[in-house]
Amino acid sequence: MSYLDKRSKIDLLQQQIDAHGELKAEVKKKINYKFRLDWNYYSNSMEGNTLTMAETRSVMVGNLTVGGKPIKDVLEIKGHDEVISEIMKVGKGEVRLSEARIREIHQGIMHEEDEAKRKKIGGWKTEPNYLYNYKGERVDFALPQEVPALMHELLNKTNAAIDAIIAKKKDAPHPIDVALSFHLDYVIIHPFYDGNGRTARILTNLILISFGYPPFWVKEGERVIYSQYIGDVQAYGGNPDLFYEFCSDLILRSQQLVLDAIEGKSIEEEGDLDKKISMLERELDAVDPNEIVQEYFNNDVFIKIYNSWFSDLVMKVVPAVQKFNKFFKGTGHYINLANGAAGIEFINDPAKEILEKLAIQVVANKDTLTSKNAKISFFTNYGALIKGGLKTFGCNYGFEIRFEQIKYEVFIDEFSEDNEIKHTKFYEKLLHQPLSPEEIDAIVSKLTNSIYEHIDFHTKKSGLR
């Protein structure tokens, strides 16, 4: 199918989407979260960011302590998410580009610990830059002294095309032509010392979103062809239509996600780590260190927490960890409250029944629930792998909620190939600040991912599969 055919198909799908009118808030949130997650992860990982998809989710919901990963990578994901979140909020209608906006976007997505590099953020490059393409040949970009004039020319050209579309002139180009042409021209200039690929994709998507189209991203398996098409245009005068055709398929994929969400279909990707990860949404009540303390830890506060967000957490995490029960014999999971003052063992019991049994113990042990260093422990014990034979193994992971006078902290066990389970702190909040539904989903996802990684690693290591 030619680029023009694909472009026509994009317009037809967009008409179908627009025909649904204003989308329900729940559907909008699901779509926006999916777009943000994939755009954040794939665009940054393409440029060397080491965060996994799960870690990208974690940063999106407010966690800035991703164990073992460079703070640069964490902060660049955070900044990238803030930039694209603002773009998606503005939506259709925000169309003109400017040097100031491009510099502002670059400042938002880049983080450098080195002071000399930090001074380069948001400014046009001062040194020549280049890369080696897929043929191993060096490709030099525009010289630093050429950048101001070239960027000025590119912005004038792009904004003139945008104005023509808005004015509905007969010779006005198609919005997708404008967006993709801008992308190619921009990466040929490479105006910044670093971050040119990410800013190119953000600005291209900004143009698309401004005209009502969804953003696109490039997945791992698509990177080689994406880079090759750009490289052919940069170095050999290749046909840009090949690049346009490629990007059209990515836009069509995003449109299909929108239609699937509208029709109530799942737009989650089935993954090896978690078969059904709930969509997360970035609506957090971030901890403010200057906020006035509203609660001190006592029995009543503990019971209030138990009856609110902790119960919600149990309802989510219990069925999630029970998905792995079928692989093991001798399984027994545990929830202990307040250092063992109250607790329960379960295997396949419904979460609701577990909460009812725990509630009886909470009432019976009310006066001992706030002993020194009180905590809630959720611990999984999967016994022995049924099909492991002499190579069988167990699997034990969990989380803890530790309470102090004015705050609580959430620690989650993370898988490590050296069998040294990492107890990583994910959240720290004042007592009156509940875990949000998004944070609860993140805890469940992190825990079940660790369990899956443990099983996956040891079954492969022992030759069971």
CA 208 – CA 202 distance, rounded (Å): 10
What pLDDT was estimated at residue 26? 85
Considering only residues 98 and 59, tell me which one the structure prediction assigns the higher pLDDT.
98
What pLDDT was estimated at residue 151? 97
What pLDDT was estimated at residue 182? 97
What pLDDT was estimated at residue 303? 82
What pLDDT was estimated at residue 246? 95
What pLDDT was estimated at residue 289? 46
Count of Cβ atoms closer than 10 Å to residue 140 Cβ: 12
CA 449 – CA 185 distance, rounded (Å): 41
Band of pLDDT at residue 284, cut at 50, 70 and 90? very low
Strand-pair category, 333-337 with 375-379: antiparallel
Which of these, 348, 380, 347, 341, lies nearest to 364 by C-alpha position? 341
CA 100 – CA 94 distance, rounded (Å): 15
Band of pLDDT at residue 340, cut at 50, 70 and 90? low
Contact yes or no for 370/390 (Cβ under 8 A): no
| Residue at 343: amino acid letter | G
Band of pLDDT at residue 282, cut at 50, 70 and 90? very low
Least trusted range by pLDDT, from 320-334, 358-372, 421-435: 358-372
> For residue 263, is pLDDT > 70?
yes
| Residue at 219: amino acid letter | K
Band of pLDDT at residue 240, cut at 50, 70 and 90? very high
Which of these, 298, 203, 187, lies nearest to 240 by C-alpha position? 187
% of the chain with per-residue pLDDT over 90: 49
What pLDDT was estimated at residue 281? 34
> For residue 270, is pLDDT > 60?
no
What pLDDT was estimated at residue 274? 41
Averaged pLDDT, 434-449: 91
Least trusted range by pLDDT, from 237-251, 270-284, 406-420: 270-284
> For residue 248, is pLDDT > 90?
yes
Band of pLDDT at residue 305, cut at 50, 70 and 90? confident
Averaged pLDDT, 195-212: 93
Tens of pLDDT, residues 9-33: 999 999 999 998 888 888 888 888 8
Q: Angle 25-45/71-90 helices, nearest 10 degrees?
A: 140
> For residue 67, is pLDDT > 80?
no
Averaged pLDDT, 89-104: 82
Band of pLDDT at residue 95, cut at 50, 70 and 90? confident
Which of these, 151, 162, 254, 160, lies nearest to 207 by C-alpha position? 162
Averaged pLDDT, 223-236: 90
CA 386, chain centre distance (Å):
35
Domains, the chain, with CATH or none: 3-262 (1.10.3290.10), 299-461 (no CATH)
CA 137 – CA 341 distance, rounded (Å): 68
Contact yes or no for 17/213 (Cβ under 8 A): no
Residue-averaged pLDDT of the chain: 86
